[in-house]
Structure formats: structure tokens, C-alpha cells
Structure 1
Amino acid sequence: MARYDSILETIGNTPLVRLDALAPAGVNLYVKVEAFNPMGSVKDRMALAVIEAAERSGELRPGQTVIEATSGNTGIGLAMVCARKGYPLVVTMAENFSVERRKLLRYLGARVVLTPAAEKGTGMLNKAIELAEAHGYYLCRQFENEANADAHVRTTAREILADFADEPLHAWVSGFGTGGTLKGVASVLKLASPATRIVVAEPDNAPMLGSGLGQPRDAAGELTASHPRFRPHLMQGWSPDFLSRLTEDAVAAGLIDEVLPVAGDEALRLTRELARREGIFAGTTSGATLAAALQVARRSPPGSNIVCMLPDTGERYLSTPLFEGIGEAMDDAELALSRSTPGYRFGAAAAGQPASPGVPLRADEQDAEAERLVETLLASEPVVMFALEWCEFCWSVRKFFARLGIAYHSVDLDSVAYQSDDLGGRIRPVLAARTGSVTIPQVFIGGEPMGGCTALFDAWRNGSLRRRLEAQGIAFDRSVEIDPDDLLPGWLHPRMTTA
């Protein structure tokens, strides 16, 4: 493993992996796994190139805010680059793109401005232009920025050619979105390997390239409307509602040999097959591109070498139809497997704990030092939660208190501060004796127990928690309307018991 001075130096040089289970016999079908880029997509290449080109030209000043319209991957790549280089980032994104993308962007420090789904890609682009003009932001313009295509001229295309230095490459298959990968790689392959066929895939219900119709633009070349053949499709980021300048350049230069339509359900099926039969975790656009590559492979002679682009990782798609039917709770078969042996299953006692959670430990099993500490905490702090750092129910209570503005003292029994002499473990039987329950968290208000997470939330719903807080003079935001169940762990299922 090499050493790097910056995460940005790890972009590119992604692997080519030959498919075994999915490829036709005798044909070498390779996938270029762009999820190996540091932020998990091919867009990392372009993000770095666009920012560094703007720095060199002086268009981007130190500390200036960067803005871009994106379905997610470009924004995530830009968020990484901007975080490392010290630029604030604003991203505009249509509201119908996956929640994971928004959260990743915000986690990396970007601000995300959503636009109406009905306005499609054009709407989020127009909003980015408005904000850039109003606030003096640097607009990346990924759909027409030559630095986008140049990144693939310098990196992606050269990597592919190097991998086939001693043997022919018969076909290269890609989707298109911004057009940067398409224009950059195809332009190099056409010069260095003229026999390589350039095959472009697109949604079968939105055949913008296949239709042969041009993109509506005004006299200045600006977009005036969506492409007439665009329809919403399942492949997020694969092709927006317009043909980008970079894509139009590739068409005009005659770089494309064939356009293949791909059905959305086939894209979903092959994305799942990639995971289950090849062990490759990729996004829906990868399955879509693979669908086109398989069409090429099936009609190719034995010994053919084909490269298919896999643009990103599957983690961007957890809330999309790609993961439909993938449950969070155990299904019947998994429950049956769990119950096939006696230990470590729901409803069984944990090792070292009473068989029934309502039975406290004996007084002689308690600890005088731990008892004094609990007494001191309850006497000095109006709201105390005995918690575990890893416990999701404890985090539900933390979020609840934060939403209501309730100040509290958290005693994290598994934290470093309570590990010495197993103090955290010694406190638990003291709590069990006071509350009659061995579960965590345990919340006390005014020194009196309120119970665990679900008991606290029930008390909020029936009004008793409000009355207790008011009686103790504990401040909270009375204007907040909250359903505490929304704060519970997402995996919670009626078959599982709570802690």
C-alpha cells in the first residue's frame, strides 16, 4: 500500500474485474469498478478536475463558495474535494433523488437545496444558476465543463488502454449523464484503438440519443425545455431530462457506434445479480450499463474483450426500489434458524442477567460505592439518563431531549470514564433494584424513575411527562409537536423486544 498526502491522491486507478457467473461463456466481460474511488463513484474524478481547473484559471478564489446541480454523486465528490481544499459547497438537487445522497452531502459539510421533482434536472440546474448569480458562488457547470471530459482523457481512458496494452479491446460500454465519461474516454479510444466499438446505453422509456432528436436550446445555446423524448426513469444520475453539451459534442464528433435501450426492471435485476452472483456491490446505473454490455457480449465472438463502466456503489440506493423487499427485521426463515438453537435469541435471558427483566438483583449483590454515586447523581441533576454509548434506544432518547430542548445528564455506563473497576457494570444492579428493570436506558426526573425509552415516550403521549417536567421546574419547548415513535430505531419490528 502506498502513502498519500491527501485523500484526493487516491482518486482513479480503479480495477477491472472479469465477470464469471454473469458473462457468456468464452467472452471476457470486464467491469471497471468506480466504487473504488474514495467517495464511491466515477464522479470523484471529475470533481477534482473541475475544482483544480477553476483554481488554475482564477475563476475560483480562495474561500469562495462552490455550487453545483447534481443527482448526488457529483455533489458527493465535490463535497470531498471542497472539504479537503477549504471551499464551502452548496448543492441543488431534485427532491426525488435518494435520501442517502442528501445525508452524505450534509455529513461532508455541504448545504443541500432541494428543488421540485416536477422541474426535473433542468429545475435543479436553473436553481444553481440563480443562486450562483445572486451570491457570487462559483458554478461548476459539470454538463458543459471541458475539465469534466478532460479528467477521463487523462485518467479513465489511459487506465483502460494500459490494461489492454497487449491485446485488443473490442467494445467499451457506458451510460451517459453529464457526458464527461462518454466524451473523454471515447475520444481517446477512437484515436488509440479505432477498432473498439463505443456503445452507449440509455433508459428504454427515455430514448433521447436513440431518437435522433436534438436538444431544445435558444440562440445563445441555453436550455429552453426538457428533451422531447425524456421520461422519468429508475436510473438515478444516468441521464437527466436534457442532453448535455458534452454529450452533444460526443454525438457531433461521431464517437458513438451504437445506442442500446435498457429497461428499468432489467437494470434492477442485474444490479442485484451483480451482488449475489459476482459479489460486486454497485448502484442501479451499474446494473443498467451491465444490461447493455451483456447484449453486446452475447453477440460477440469467443475471445472478445468488453469493458463495462460501473459508475458507483449500491449504498446510494438504500431507499430506492433497488432495495425493495430487503427487510430490516428477521423473516420467518431467519427466525426459524435463530430458534433452532437455545441461546442468543430474542426472549432469552442475556448471560449473567435475571431470566425475567422484572426481577431485581438481591441487595447483597449490590455495591455500596455504586449506590452512593447513583444517589449523588439523582440528588444533583434534575434529569439523568443511565445509558450505553452504542444503544440505539438511548440515542432515541437523546434525540427526543434535543428536540424538546431538555437539558440532561447522561451516565454512559460503557464509556471509558465508567470502565475503571467495572463501575458501569456495578451501577446496573443498583438501577435494577430501584426500578425493577434490568434494561437500559433508565431515565430519572427529579430523582424519580420514568422508565426506559418506550415508557418515556408513552409518558409524553399521555401528558404525564409534561406534568412531571413542569412540577420540577425543568425547562422544555412547549411549542414542539413531536411523535416520539419517529425517533425509534429504523429496524424496530413488532417481533423484536425493546431494551
Structure 2
Amino acid sequence: MTELARYNDRLYTKLELNSLGGSHKYRAARHIVQRAIERGDIVPGHTTVIEKTGGNFGFGLLAACYRHDVQVDLAIGLSFSPLKRKLLECFGARLIGKDMLRQGLTPREVVEHHVQCQEQLGRQYYYTDQFNNLDGVEAHRLSTGPELAAQLIEQGVGKRILFVGCAGTGASFTGVTQSLIDHGFDVDAVLVEPAECDIRKGIFGDHRLEGMAVGVPPPFLDWSLVNEVCAVSLEETLDAQRHFYRHNGIHIGNTSAGCFAVAKQLLDRNDYQDKVVVTMAYDSGLWYADILEEAGEAV
């Protein structure tokens, strides 16, 4: 169980950066792998898991697969964190299709090529396909959400909750929100997106908040659960990141800080005065040190 950090009587953050694998993605990876083993889609010692990922889901897959003697092959876009790519290789993942990516192919195309040619490549692949695998939503509905509900009940915060989160696949946003409702909470949910994007309209500009608004509409985002969409800028994100560290001594990641920035703003809104605000620290900010240089900060 990951800790629930208290900012004040009305704002809490669940520290998923302390999960195995370093992020909330471990929960989905573990559940997807376990279900695939139960179905016989993954045969330990024989099957290789293959996925396209910007990093966090890859670390989750490595942590979930090692205990089952399952190899992991990953296609990672060249624009994603160089540190994550290096560490994934160091920890045992095989990064596939590097030349193909340099030639302009997408990570999805790299994965599709390897799956189609698996016999020639001497592999037996299982594609975890996090953007189309409903087991990812189930993971958060059965794991993250119930943990959070139990922690909120232990804190005695009452049943009126404002959940502030973001969406890549939308699995955690939907799974956690629905789970809180399952546990009897009266939930309003706010979706955070980068200022450069409009997820509902399918507009995805360039931004540095890796993990949200990843270039495609979130396939598992249940829009009926979204009460409001709030945009956050890079400047607001970095300010919230510094603020969270000064208050809690924890360096949270960019998407986490973006959500925290919006949560702090909403605390003072009249229509949310009767609600306790909850956010997620999805991963650590240590992955993204280069963002300070990009934003004109001194490292």
C-alpha cells in the first residue's frame, strides 16, 4: 500500500511513486501479466512480453515479469526520457527497433512488425497492449481505488471527494474514480490536461507533462465521470513541484505536479468548499531533470 500524504485538512496525495517499478503503472502491469498467465497467454520461461511505452509501464512490466521468468521487449519513442531508456536496458529490458524508430516508424509500428515476424525472430510474443487492455482499468478499480478509499475512511474525511487526475490511457482515472463511487463516496472528478492540449477535441500540442495527453484520445477515459477539465501550464507545474517538495520533502513528477497545481487552485473554489481534494503522485520528478533547463531554470 502506498502512503497517503496530507497537505492540509482538505488536500491529500496518494504517493504512487513509491510503488514497485516507481509508478502507478506497476499496478496495471502486474494485473495484466497475472491475468495473461492465468489464461495461458503468457507461458513463463517461454513467452516474451512486448509493449510500446514511454517508460513507466516498462518499469512496471519488468517488476511484474521478473518473478515469472518472463522477458520484456520494449519499443520506446526517441523523444521520451533518455534516462528511462538507459535504465530499462540496465534492468534487463530489450529495447527493440531503434533503427526503425530513427527511420521514422512509430513505436506501435515497431511492435506490430515484431509480432508479425516473431517466428523468424525466434520469439513467442504476448503484446500487453496497455492502450487496449481492459485489465488495466480493472487493476485500478480493484487495487488503487480500494486502497485509497480505505485510507480516506481512516483519515475520517467524510464522503464528499474531489478527485483530480490526468489521463494517458485513462485507466487509472476511470478505475480510481469508479472505485471511490463503488465505496460509497460522493465524487466529483476533474481531468487535468496540458495548456497546449484539448483532449476532448483531440488536440495534442507539444508539451513536457509526460503521462498525460499522450497524442491519442484516452481509450479508457469514461467521460461521464468527468465533471470538469482544467488546463495547467509548465510554469504552474514547476511551481507546484517546488511547493510540494518544500512541504512534503518529496520530488514528484511533472504530471503529478500538474494535478497538484490544479488541486491547490480548486481548494478555494466556492463550489468545492465542502469536498476533500485528492490527487495522485504518479511517479518521481527525478526522471525529468532536463525539464528545468528547457524551462529556463538553473539545474
Question: Shorter chain as normaliser: what TM range?
Answer: 0.7 to 0.9
Identify which of 99, 109, 116 aligns with 2:92: 109
CA distance in 2, matches of 1:234, 1:118: 23
CA distance in 2, matches of 1:168, 1:285: 26
Distance of aligned partners of 1:131 and 1:321 in 2 relative to their CA distance in 1, 3 Å threshold: farther
State the SS of the aligned residue for 1:80. Answer: helix
Deviation at 1:290, TM superposition (A): 0.8
Alignment correspondent of 1:64: 47
Deviation at 1:28, TM superposition (A): 1.1
Cα deviation per residue 1:79-127 (whole Å; 9 max; x = unaligned)?
12222221111111111111111122112100123465996xx922232
Q: How does 1:343-382 map to 2 (within 5 A)?
A: none
Alignment correspondent of 1:241: 215
Identify which of 136, 139, 142 aligns with 1:154: 142
CA distance in 2, matches of 1:311, 1:267: 14
Cα deviation per residue 1:207-231 (whole Å; 9 max; x = unaligned)?
112x3xxxxxxxxxxxxxxx4x111
Deviation at 1:245, TM superposition (A): 2.2
RMSD of the alignment, in Å?
A: 2.2
CA distance in 1, matches of 2:291, 2:141: 32
Alignment correspondent of 1:32: 14
Distance of aligned partners of 1:279 and 1:72 in 2 relative to their CA distance in 1, 3 Å threshold: same
State the SS of the aligned residue for 2:20. Answer: coil
Task: Work out whether residues 268 and 322 of structure 1, in 8 Å CA contact, stay in contact via their aligned partners in 2.
Answer: no
Q: Which has the larger radius of gyration?
A: 1
Cα deviation per residue 1:398-423 (whole Å; 9 max; x = unaligned)?
xxxxxxxxxxxxxxxxxxxxxxxxxx
Identify which of 63, 86, 106 aligns with 2:69: 86
2:186 is aligned with 1:195: yes
Task: Work out whether residues 292 and 298 of structure 2, in 8 Å CA contact, stay in contact via their aligned partners in 1.
Answer: no
CA distance in 2, matches of 1:195, 1:80: 34
2:193 is aligned with 1:232: no
2:175 is aligned with 1:184: yes
Alignment correspondent of 1:128: 111
Show structure 1 runs of 5+ residues with no match. 1-12, 21-26, 212-226, 328-499
CA distance in 2, matches of 1:107, 1:319: 20
Q: In structure 1, give the amino acid aligned to 2:208.
A: L
Deviation at 1:195, TM superposition (A): 2.1
Task: Work out whether residues 26 and 61 of structure 2, in 8 Å CA contact, stay in contact via their aligned partners in 1.
Answer: yes
Cα deviation per residue 1:328-360 (whole Å; 9 max; x = unaligned)?
xxxxxxxxxxxxxxxxxxxxxxxxxxxxxxxxx
Deviation at 1:190, TM superposition (A): 3.1
Aligned-residue identity in percent: 28
Deviation at 1:194, TM superposition (A): 5.4
Task: Work out whether residues 174 and 200 of structure 1, in 8 Å CA contact, stay in contact via their aligned partners in 2.
Answer: yes
Deviation at 1:326, TM superposition (A): 4.5
Q: How does 1:294-313 map to 2 (within 5 A)?
A: 294-300=264-270, 304-313=275-284
Q: In structure 1, give the amino acid aligned to 2:63.
A: M
What TM-score, normalized by structure 2, do the two folds share? 0.88
Task: Work out whether residues 94 and 117 of structure 1, in 8 Å CA contact, stay in contact via their aligned partners in 2.
Answer: no
Task: Work out whether residues 83 and 108 of structure 1, in 8 Å CA contact, stay in contact via their aligned partners in 2.
Answer: no
State the SS of the aligned residue for 1:96. Answer: coil
Task: Work out whether residues 14 and 33 of structure 1, in 8 Å CA contact, stay in contact via their aligned partners in 2.
Answer: yes
Alignment correspondent of 1:141: 129
Q: Which has the higher strand share?
A: 2
What TM-score, normalized by structure 1, do the two folds share? 0.54
Identify which of 265, 269, 280 aligns with 2:235: 265
Alignment correspondent of 1:470: none
Alignment correspondent of 2:246: 276
- The structure whose RCO (Cα within 8 Å, separation 6+) is larger is 2
2:66 is aligned with 1:96: no
Q: In structure 2, give the amino acid aligned to 1:230.
A: F
State the SS of the aligned residue for 1:89. Answer: strand
CA distance in 1, matches of 2:139, 2:67: 19
Alignment correspondent of 2:121: none
CA distance in 2, matches of 1:184, 1:66: 24
Task: Work out whether residues 201 and 259 of structure 1, in 8 Å CA contact, stay in contact via their aligned partners in 2.
Answer: yes
